[in-house]
Amino acid sequence: MEQAISQDNEVRLIDLFVDAIKLTDHGFEMEYTDNGRPAYHPSDLLKLFIYGYLNRIRSSRGLEKECKRNIELMWLMRGLVPDHNTIANFRKENPKAIRKIFHGTVSLAKNFDLIGAKLLAGDSNKLRAQNSKKNNFNPAKIERHITYIDIKLEEYNQLLAAQDKDIDQIKRAEIEQKMAKHLIQKNRYQSFQKILDETGETQISTSDPESRQLITRNNITEVAYNIQTTVDAEHCLAVDYKVTNQNDSKAMGNMVRRAKAILGTSSFTLLYDKGYHTGTEFDYAHKQGVEVMVAIPEVASHAPDIAFDVANFRYDKLKDNYVCPAGETLTTNGIWYFVSS
């Protein structure tokens, strides 16, 4: 088996990299009880995890299967075949430690001059959560459910009052049972609203609590997570990632700050698509001293005369005013206008 694995095979690099790491410094748990079968060493599971990442094998069951038939993994794991539950638990219990390992790979790449730190690009990827739209609630949706229940309860009360003498006991019991179910649901929705009021959140997901309903493309929404990623242009290596539950419009500033901290410099340009075109994020990036280039979104609606679209108005920074395409300076009438989001 040793002869079957070439000297430049990636598994040898994985083996050397993990063996060179002091796992306790990265937060991996090293103490285990003596009950039951001996535990797998975190270094073995980490090697398996990294191999799966490099070869796009993310399924725990898939990694378990590969340990039994993949000669590269047989060599790397020294014949060990962890159960898929063991692999899944390792990934679940060590997210911060694994993130530190990722940052360690970035530092290693910097040490070998594999990261140019001159031009970077950022983007996101939506991953569906284990939470259906049915089990995701916002204040408007909660209010609709409560209003519907109140209407049904009123209908049942009127039915009982109108047929108070004529209605039989079986029919009355059925109606009262339906009313009791509606009241339970109403209390449930009211508890959701209370949580939103106390936390300041705009949504609540009951199956996958940290997930949120996000726009995935056009006007299509999914209950999902949004993975922000920053990639260096020199060798297309990822230098940072962050799992969020917000849309792209508020993500650029934080990712710019993180890239600056990781690279140790602000003398780079970061590229983003039009989804990140937000004024507050531009301001934040400017304060970080980082140059960003963001695609300009298409105009959602045009003026009666296209020449007078918003994009054609010029801002005079010295005078702090806007000049229209006709050369006239815009003045205020002193009235504030608020647009609801």
Walk along the chain (341 residues) and give the pLDDT tens digit of each residue: 899 999 999 999 999 999 998 888 888 877 766 666 678 899 999 999 999 999 999 899 999 999 999 999 999 999 999 999 999 999 999 999 999 999 888 988 999 999 999 999 999 999 999 899 999 999 999 999 999 999 999 999 888 887 766 667 778 888 889 999 999 999 999 999 999 999 999 999 999 999 999 988 778 889 999 999 999 999 999 999 999 999 999 999 999 999 999 999 999 999 999 999 999 999 999 999 999 999 988 776 788 888 888 888 888 888 888 899 999 998 877 787 765 54
Q: Does the residue 54 lie in any domain?
A: yes
Q: How far apart are CA 250 and CA 302, in angstroms?
A: 25
What is the pTM (predicted TM-score) of this model? 0.75
Same domain, 184 and 101: no
In a domain, 40, yes or no: yes
Distance between CA atoms of 108 and 47, rounded to whole angstroms? Answer: 17
335 falls within a domain: yes
Number of domains in the chain: 3
Residue 74 lies in a domain: yes
User: Do the beta carbons of residue 294 and residue 269 sit within 8 Å?
Assistant: no
Do residue 86 and residue 29 come from a single domain? yes
Residues 104 and 143 placed together within one structural domain of the fold:
no
Backbone angles phi, psi at 49, to 5 degrees: -65, -45
3-state percent helix, strand, coil for the chain, nearest multiple of 5: 45, 15, 35
- Rounded CA separation 26/17 (Å): 14
Asked if residue 53 and residue 93 are part of one domain, the reply reads: yes
Residue 30: inside a domain:
yes
* Residue 32 forms part of a structural domain: yes
Report how far residue 82's alpha carbon sits from residue 59's, in angstroms, rounded to the nearest whole number: 13
Q: Are 92 and 198 in contact (CB under 8 A)?
A: no
Q: Please indicate, yes or no, whether residues 70 and 26 belong to a single structural domain of this protein.
A: yes
Q: Parallel, antiparallel, or unpaired for β 212-217 and 291-294?
A: unpaired
Query: Burial level of 312, CB count in 10 A (0-12/13-18/19+)?
Result: middle
Q: Which domain holds residue 145?
A: 139-201
- Residue 94 sits in the same domain as residue 22: yes
Residue 323 within a domain: yes
Residue 117 in any domain: the answer is no
173 and 92 within one domain: no
Last residue in a domain, options 201, 228, 247: 201
Per-residue model confidence as pLDDT tens digits over 206-231: 999 999 999 887 788 899 999 999 99
